[in-house]
Every structure is written in C-alpha cells, then in structure tokens.
Structure 1
Amino acid sequence: MPIHLNLPETFSAQLAKAERGLAGMWVCSGSPLVAEICAGSGLDWLLIDGEHSPLSLESIQLQLQAVAAYPVTPVVRVPENNSVTIKQYLDLGVQNLLVPMVNTPEDAVAAVQAVRYPPQGMRGVGSALARGARWNRVENYLTRANDEFVSLTVQIETAQAVENVAEIVGTDGVDAIFIGPSDLAASMGLIGQQGHPDVVACVRESIVAAKAAGKPVGINAFDPALANQYLDEGMDFILVGADVAMLARGSEKLADDFIAARLGSVNDAERASY
C-alpha cells in the first residue's frame, strides 16, 4: 500500500505568513553535499541557481533531495523563461521557481502559463512519471498543483523591466518579484555600479510597485550594511551570500593568514608562485 504524501508549503505561502524579511543564500556549486550543509545553516531559504551555475537536471534533483530533510525553503532559478525547461524543473520536484529576465507583461504571462496546468496554463502532464507529484503519491496533485504546490517569482533586472514593473507584478499568477541590481546596472550602461543613484532609483521604483500591488519583493545584497538597511525598510526576502563566494573569500583569508602574513607583504606575482 503506497504512502500518501503532501508537499511542503511554497515560498509564497512562507512569505505570506512571515513577520520579518526572509534571509537566504545562493547555492551555486552544484554539490548536493554543499546544498545540505547550507540547508542546515538556519537560513530561511536557499536559491539553487540553474542560470549561472553548472547544474544539470539530475544535479538539481539531487540537491532538492538533499535539502528536503531540513526546515529551509528551496527556490530554484531556471536558466531562461522557457516552457520546456520550466516543465522539466517542476517535474523534478521544484515547487518554487525564480524566472530571470522577465522584461514585459507578455514575459510574465508566459512564465505563469508555463507553471500552470490547463486550462489556466500549458504545463505538460507527466505527474505519474515525476518526483514533482511523488510519482502520483500526492493526492489530487493535478487539480491542486496550480493553487497549492507551485509559486512563481520573476526577476526585475533590466531597465525595460523597471518600465513595465507595475504590469509585471500585477500579472495574475506572479507571486513575487526579485530585483537583480547587477544586471539592472549593466542594462543601464552602468555595469558594476549597483550603487549608482540611477540604479538605486530603479530599485526603489520596483519596490514601490510591488508594495502597491500587494506582492512580496526581494533583492540580492551581499553588502551586510545594505542588506540590513533593506530588511529594516521592510524588504520581504533577501539573498545575503553565496556558497562559492564564501568558499573563495574564506580560502583567500587562509592564504593571507598563514602565508602572506608570515612572508610579509607580497604582490600578486609572488603569491602565484606559492
């Protein structure tokens, strides 16, 4: 006799009941072991990144399985707003999708259509074959999935998206928006200048639009002072670090503490020799 299962609450459900901003981190290494370590950190959510990381479908599923035992909400970013890719991610068991480069209301509608079964959308039916429905062990998965089991966050990360942000965030089926300051700055001809006043103004405009629509809004902010400022101002969710960045900076500090500090001042050429 099979076990009848239910699925965890979605990210949108977590946001709806949260009494503070939810803090999370990027998981980009592709390692299920690293994902599991991060899942036990005490953070609220993890972003498993399929856009800027070497993740296969199999590695995403393994990471989801690794973090499932922990009280953390995994959100997974697809590489593009593509209905076929989104279908595959959902069938893997991704419940909480982040879709990048949503620049127009039409892009937002396409993302909504991709995550929903007909008649509200165009998601292909493969629940009997897939982990998403736990191989048909989730009762009435097909009729419940649209409303209960999937949440959709879209990224506002270009000047064009900011121009359309009110319509994007107002799209039925878009549960939240996430602001990407780095790509936003690049799209404005200000690459690497996330703190430029014009970029900050666009970020603020997007926040105001989300609040006006009654939808949660999140942002990436690795600078602790900036992250705390956003949380103090009522940001609903935020990313404050990344596994690969923490490993890079931590390993550099070990080299500084135990090699450079003992050798005295060294330049990059000397550092490369040891």
Structure 2
Amino acid sequence: MLRGETVYGTMIQHATNPALVDFLPPGALDFVIFTAEHNALDIADFLPLRYALAAKGIVSLARTHSRDPDDVSKVCDSYDGVVVPYVEDVAHAKRLAAAAVYRPLKGAALERVLKDDKWPNARTKQYCFEERCANTLFIPMIESVEAVDNLEEICSIPGVNAVFVGPNDLTTSMGIPNEYDHPDFVAMMKRIIEIADRKHVPAGSWFGTVEQQQRTMKQGGRFVVYSNDSSMMKDAIQLAFGQMRKA
C-alpha cells in the first residue's frame, strides 16, 4: 500500500480450521479480515488460522466487536492489525488509532500525546510508534455520511493505513439501503477514494461481486475486500450443482 499498489483480500467469518490454508491458490490473497461482528464466534476462535496464514505470508486483520479503544489494543496484540466498524467522529478516531499504534502508552501520558503531541521523551515515541507498532495496521470503517464528511481529518490521523467502506451501513445512512449500483453511492465511493488519495491513504469497499469491485478499482480503489468464506463456498456449490442439474 505504501508503494501505491493494490492489495487483495477477503473476509473470514466462519472458517476456523487452519488446514484451510492448504486450499488457498498461491498469490490470490494479500490479507484476510477475520470478523466476529455478525456471528456467534469470538476473535480468539480464529487464532489457529491466523498463524497458519502467517506461514503463507498472508496478513491477518481482525474486525472488532466494539468501537472501544481497549478492544482495539487487545486485538492488535494478537493480529497484524485491526479494522474498526463505524468510525465517524474525529476525536474518537484519534483514540482508536492511538490504541493501535501507540501501544502500550496509556493514561495521562497518552492524553498529553493526543492533546499536545507531547511524548514522555523521544525514546518512548520511537519505541511505541517506530518499533513495537511499526507494522500494526489500523483501518477505520467508513459507514456513514458523517464519516465521509470527516474523512479528510480521519485520513490525517497518524497510524491510519487505509479506509474501508462498509456499503450496507453507508447506503443505509444515505437513504438507499443496499443499492450498491445506485449512482449516488457510486459517486460517494469516488468521493471517498479521491479524499483518501489526497492524504496518500488507500481506500476500498467490501463487495460481493467482481463487477462492483472492478468498478471501484477503476475509480482508484486500492484496498480490495471481496466476498467472504461462506459466500464464496455457496456461490461455487450453486454454480457447479446448478449446471449439473440442468444437464
């Protein structure tokens, strides 16, 4: 992403068996996002698969249940980075980013950094931001009109590595729920990508169709999140057995 390249990933929401990595085509995935937001699993359930993916050179991000900074720190201690849902307030976004990339700084010392950019000393700043958290990814989800209105400030926060659109929530906020091909949503994606690009932050969205992803990539989207484990299995089964039953 730092080189301006496009990265490709998917969401994992049901698979936990580490043997899954044996069935992944080489070079297909740069990253996965483990999500326990819409199911009964916990982020810890994905840890065996997370380490198996690491052996294949695939980055593992985790989407938090909550929007609490303490949960962000906890996730970042075990995964390569964090994806936080529904980030729209700039002050809150700064605290979430700090929880990811300023670890383990807390309390009054962290407050002085957030308020005045005053670190205990240069060594502490180097340790937190340039050593311990240097490879930690913090990715806020843009899922409301207010978030888009605040996007330039959000992209200016130290530690924001990419922005990730949740199209279901964003279209609902826009008054066009799930209309991912609506001209207003297509225009909104273009606006998001252009704002993020000006801050050298890659942007992208989740989509369940290749065509929608390709459209967003043509707009300049570089953080590509296509479908999820269960949906891709469903699509493959439906296609194969549908063709056989027709025959």
Bigger CA drift: 64-73 or 224-233?
A: 224-233
In 1, distance between residues paired with 2:19 and 2:197? 34
Please list, as runs of the form range in 1=range in 2, the aligned pairs for 1:215-230 lying within 5 A after superposition: 215-230=201-216
Residue 126 (structure 2) pairs with residue 145 (structure 1):
no
Q: 1:52 aligns to what?
A: 38
Q: 2:57 aligns to what?
A: 71
Which entry has the higher C-alpha Rg, 1 or 2? Answer: 1
Provide Cα deviations, 1:116-139, integer angstroms capped at 9, x if missing partner: 2216748xxxxxxxxxxxxxxxxx
Q: 1:192 aligns to what?
A: 178
For 1:181, give the aligned amino acid. Answer: P
**TM-score (normalised: structure 2):** 0.81
Provide Cα deviations, 1:133-156, integer angstroms capped at 9, x if missing partner: xxxxxxx7897213x131211111
RMSD across aligned positions (CA): 2.5
Provide Cα deviations, 1:152-194, integer angstroms capped at 9, x if missing partner: 1111111111111111111222222111222100112211212
* Structure 1 residues without counterparts, runs of 5 or longer: 1-14, 123-139, 263-274
Residue 101 (structure 2) pairs with residue 101 (structure 1):
no
Measure how far apart 1:38 and its partner are.
Answer: 6.1
Provide Cα deviations, 1:18-75, integer angstroms capped at 9, x if missing partner: 5x31111111114233652465542222111132243324313222122121022222
In 1, distance between residues paired with 2:128 and 2:50? 19
* Structure 2 residues without counterparts, runs of 5 or longer: 112-126
Measure how far apart 1:258 and its partner are.
Answer: 4.2
Residue 17 (structure 2) pairs with residue 25 (structure 1):
no
Q: 1:181 to 1:226 in 2, by over 3 A?
A: same
Match of 1:86 among 72, 93, 105: 72
Match of 1:165 among 151, 158, 168: 151
For 2:233, give the aligned amino acid. Answer: L
For 2:183, give the aligned amino acid. Answer: P
Measure how far apart 1:255 and its partner are.
Answer: 4.1
Aligned residues: 227
Q: 1:61 aligns to what?
A: 47
**TM-score (normalised: structure 1):** 0.74
| Secondary structure in 2 matching 1:26 | strand
Provide Cα deviations, 1:211-250, integer angstroms capped at 9, x if missing partner: 1112121222332223223334432220123110011122
Percent identity over the alignment is 21
